[in-house]
Amino acid sequence: MTTDPIRITVNGEPREFPDGLTLLALLEHFALDPRAVVVERNREIVRRPALAETAVRAGDAIELVHFVGGG
């Protein structure tokens, strides 16, 4: 049985992903290291320990802010 994809907004861009995705899986999709990213879901920051258990839901607005080193 297949499920329809869900629509979410990531950094202001509408996207579709499979239902059942977690925030950690979303970071993996974008090849982002959870230690170097701040994740905001619906205007609330999600702490790193909760990423693996926080489900992405249809209509969510996700902001991914990653740190870039340099000098």
Q: What is the chain's mean pLDDT, rounded?
A: 93
* Domains in the chain: boundaries: 6-56
Percent of the chain whose pLDDT exceeds 90: 86
Query: Between residues 68 and 46, which one has the greater pLDDT?
Result: 46
pLDDT band at 71 (very low <50, low <70, confident <90, very high): low
Phi-psi sector, 43: left (phi>0), alpha (psi -120 to 50), beta = left
Residue 52's identity, in one-letter code, is A
